[in-house]
Amino acid sequence: MGLEEMLLEIKDTSELMVDLAYSSLLYNNRDIAEEVYQLDGRMRELENEIQEMAIEKATEDKDIKKALLVIRLAQSVGEISKAALKIADVVRRDVPPHPVIQLALRETDVIITSVVVGEGSDLDGATLGKVRLATNTGMYAIAVRRGRRYIYGPNKTTTIMGGDTLYVRGPEDGEQYFRDLASGKEHLGPDDLKGP
Amino acid sequence: MVYYGEEDEEEKENLTVRELLTEIKDISEVIVDLAYAALLFDSQEIGAEVHHLCSRMDTLNHEIKIRMMIASRTAQDAIQLSGLLQVAEGAAAISAAAGDIVELLELNPKGNPIVSLVLKEAEEKIRLLTLSDRSDMRGKSLEDLSVETETGMRVIAIKRGIRWIYDPEETERLKECDLLVVRGTEDGYERLRCFTSGVNKWPVYPEEE
């Protein structure tokens, strides 16, 4: 794995971890909180590899600033993931999170919500890329629960099935349309499925 | 570094714990995008806004800590409230990390292709769009348009002439030549670009009765 790829992965992972951490709080869901811990292990691994590789490169091309930039960026991204861990940790207590936390999370600019995908809806049997979920609804998928299994950080190629619970993040005014689309009350137009 | 958070000092008194936490979470979201934008566009101005948000975050955190201590009556209270504080601390740690990212401007990120490459290739990217005089988005507010719901792209900042508007309010009206800093997927960016350039008309839906 190259330096770019690793940096890309830690950046995307850190963002997923923050989304999952807030989701775990909102739903008082320990499974999701646990995933934040799992992802953190991967983050630490990558952070170490990035440091080593950046130093290795610096000994070759003598560009110390470049290596320093990469190492410090990776470190800051790592700090974001540690912060996500701290947030998710609240769910792992014996006492449920304070209800004000959930109230506050529902009022934010970026809300998190979940919906059960209806059978026969446009999402049933389609990949996230095909329905262009984020582009068409403003809602960005962060996790899918299928039975007892979770898919964290689903991508364009992830197929959604009827009965799945979809966890998403996005603007509040997009929530209703997203719900209607997922339940099968609303349908996408032919233009929505085509790319630009 | 310019801090200009003093004008906020008085209004904070009236915020409820829920409002404090909401603002803390909102800052933790937008500050990271702004920090990456500062790096990507090598912008000290956006960097200064990140520092401003960092100090606002410190103020809010301090306030929420005091409230929690006053509110705690029993051991059960203390456990739940300490959890709430931990969330606020986590959000503050995110904003501190964003502050550190902005410090990297000193290391000449422009001369380092790897950073811009990573920020351009990421799952959710930060991009720039200019509002054309042919676009029908002109004169409309972000709320009228529901930009994020319609395209999946979130407007994190607007540059209007020499002025910056960070994390714009929903009521903010777009103007011709506005430079929009947006965050989202490649697909959403392409869709929004068709609207900002005036190639496509902004969709209008029939009013529901």
Give the domain CATH number at B31: 1.20.58.220
Domain with CATH 1.20.58.220 in chain A: 3-92
Same-domain check for residues B62 and B136: no
Same domain, B96 and B144: no
What part of A 122-181 touches B (C-beta under 8 Å)?
132, 134-140, 155, 170-171, 173-174, 177
In A, which residues are within 8 Å of B149 by CB distance?
A: 137-138, 170-171, 173-174, 177
A73 interfaces chain B, CB cutoff of 8 Å: yes
The model's confidence at residue B208, banded by pLDDT at 50, 70 and 90, is low
- Which has more pLDDT, A111 or B5? A111
Cβ distance B124 to A97 less than 8 Å, yes or no, reads no
Residue B136 is assigned to a structural domain of this protein: yes
Probe site for chain B from A61, A101, A111, A176 (most B CB atoms < 10 A): A101
Q: In angstroms, what is the C-alpha Rg of chain B?
A: 19
Statement: the pTM of the whole predicted model exceeds 0.90? yes
Q: Is the pLDDT score of B96 beyond 60? A: yes
Q: How close B82 comes to chain A (CA, Å)?
A: 9
More confident residue, A192 or B4: A192
Flag whether B98 is in a domain.
yes
Please report residues of B whose CB lies closer than 8 A to that of A65.
107-108, 112
Residues B130 and B186 in one domain: yes
Handedness of CA B165, B170, B174, B180 (dihedral sign): positive
pLDDT of residue B114: 85
Domain boundary among B87, B110, B133: B110
- Rounded CA-CA distance B51/A68 in Å is 21
| B14: in domain | yes
The answer to whether A69 contacts chain B (CB < 8 Å) is yes
In this prediction, residue A185 carries a pLDDT of: 94
Cβ-count burial A45-59 (b if 16+ within 10 Å, e if not): ebbeebeebbeebbe
Mean confidence (pLDDT) of chain B: 90
Share of chain B above pLDDT 70, in %: 92
**Are B21 and B76 members of one domain?**
yes
The answer to whether residues B100 and B11 belong to one domain is: yes
Top-level class of domain A3-92: mainly alpha
Q: Measured between beta carbons, which residues in chain B are less than 8 angstroms from residue A75?
A: 100
Give Cα separations from B53 to A77, A194, B120 (angstroms).
18, 39, 24
Q: How many domains does chain B have?
A: 2
Sites in chain A below the pLDDT cut of 70: 194-196
Same domain, B17 and B87: yes
Look at residue B7 and tell me whether its pLDDT is greater than 60. no
- Judge if B34 and B84 occupy the same domain: yes
**Structural domain of B185:** 123-196
pLDDT of B136 > 60? The answer is yes
Where, residue-wise, is CATH 3.30.70.1450 in chain A?
Answer: 109-193
Is B205 inside any structural domain? no
Asked which of B77, B110, B143 is the last residue of a domain, the reply is B110
- In this predicted structure, what is the pLDDT of residue B108? 84
Same domain, B21 and B106: yes
Has residue B1 been placed in a domain? no
Domain A109-193: CATH superfamily is: Regulator of K+ conductance, C-terminal domain (3.30.70.1450)
The shortest C-alpha distance from A170 to chain B (Å) reads 8
Of residues B76, B96, B152, nearest to A134 (C-beta): B152
Cβ contact, residue pair A66, B112, below 8 Å: yes
CB contact under 8 A, A103 and B121: no
Residue B141 sits in the same domain as residue B72: no
B13, pLDDT greater than 60: no
Residues B92 and B184 in one domain: no
Same domain, B58 and B154: no
B166-191 residue pLDDT tens: 999 999 999 999 999 999 999 999 99
Q: Read off the CATH number of the domain in which B145 is found.
A: 3.30.70.1450
Task: Annotate chain B with three-state secondary structure.
Answer: CCCCCHHHCCHHHHCCHHHHHHHHHHHHHHHHHHHHHHHHCCCHHHHHHHHHHHHHHHHHHHHHHHHHHHHCCCHHHHHHHHHHHHHHHHHHHHHHHHHHHHHHHHHCHHHCHHHHHHHHHCCCEEEEEECCCCCCCCCCEHHHHCHHHHHCCEEEEEEECCEEEECCCCCCECCCCCEEEEEECHHHHHHHHHHHCCCCCCCCCCCCC
B35 and B86 fall within a common domain: yes
Q: Is the per-residue pLDDT at B4 higher than 50?
A: no
Q: Which residue of B40, B57, B118 is the best one to mutate when testing the A interface, meaning the one whose CB has the most A CBs within 10 A?
A: B118
| Residue B174 maps to a domain | yes
Nearest residue to A128 via CA among A177, A169, A161: A161
Is residue B208 included in any domain, yes or no?
Answer: no
- Does the residue B90 lie in any domain? yes
Q: Is the pLDDT of residue B6 over 80?
A: no
Residue B2 pLDDT more than 60? no
